[in-house]
Chain A
Amino acid sequence: GESVGLHLPTLSVQEGDNSIINCAYSNSASDYFIWYKQESGKGPQFIIDIRSNMDKRQGQRVTVLLNKTVKHLSLQIAATQPGDSAVYFCAEMGYGNKLVFGAGTILRVKS
């Protein structure tokens, strides 16, 4: 039969604007979360991580927010640049160092 591929949500933003990418995770017991960026032809690249004892963590131009009550993560990118165009994945760390990935979000930056 015909397989149904994942339909990734797409976020289109203007260069210089801020981007917010959202992610729902599944396991309320997860206590470590990571955001990755994947460009075409490359493997996922680590962006930022956060532990469950925090609700916010900032990096260079990026901020991750964690809401454990509703099992929700978001990645905020300030002053989005064309080089930020990629697929973004959130991942939760499960038992035994296993990462469980979300489906991903395509970020398109318009110049």
Chain B
Amino acid sequence: KAGVTQTPRYLIKTRGQQVTLSCSPISGHRSVSWYQQTPGQGLQFLFEYFSETQRNKGNFPGRFSGRQFSNSRSEMNVSTLELGDSALYLCASSIGQGDQPQHFGDGTRLSIL
């Protein structure tokens, strides 16, 4: 069974630009969650989507947004990029109901110049 796939793996942007990251979940998984990982703050929850609906959102500004498509694939978008947005962005998928583990992709490394 294929794992969670994130594209692109690496991205370099400049301040003020916007970026879209993509995530393909494990087949059959309907929940997709996004996390930001930085050396200073560790792993922090951004938001979670289930059946194309955002079910939960973390404490990030409105510049961070996402969506989920009918095939459960998800995208996250960051607008007006700031230097502090440099991070590893991780996507995780799960069945989405009950206590089930989330399985992570290898992330997109976003660097802001």
Contact = CB atoms under 8 A, between A and B. Distances in A.
B42 A104 contact: yes
Nearest to A31: B99
Nearest to A4: B40
Interface residues of A, number: 29
Given A44-B90, A49-B101, A101 B40 contact: no
A98 B99 contact: no
Contacts of A3: 40
A21 B21 CA distance: 33
Given A97-B50, A99-B45, 18 more contacts: A5-B39, A5-B40, A6-B40, A34-B102, A43-B6, A43-B105, A44-B92, A45-B104, A46-B104, A93-B99, A97-B33, A97-B55, A97-B56, A99-B33, A99-B102, A101-B43, A101-B44, A104-B42
Nearest to A42: B106
Given A51-B99, A93-B99, A98-B45, A43 B106 contact: yes
Interface in A48-103: 49, 51, 89, 91, 93, 95-103
A93 B31 CA distance: 14
Interface of B: 4, 6, 31, 33, 35, 39-45, 48, 50, 55-56, 58, 90, 92, 94, 96, 99, 101-107
A97 B96 CA distance: 7
A101 B50 CA distance: 21
Contact of B103 (A5, A46, A51, A93): A46
Chain A contact residues: over half helix, strand or loop, or mixed? mixed
Given A41-B106, A43-B90, A51-B99, A98 B56 contact: yes
A-B residue pairs, 10 tightest by C-beta: A96-B56, A43-B104, A32-B99, A101-B43, A5-B39, A43-B106, A44-B104, A98-B45, A3-B40, A46-B101
Given A6-B42, A49-B101, A89-B43, A97 B106 contact: no
A103 B104 contact: no
A36 to B, nearest CB: 8
Nearest to A44: B104
Contacts of A4: 40
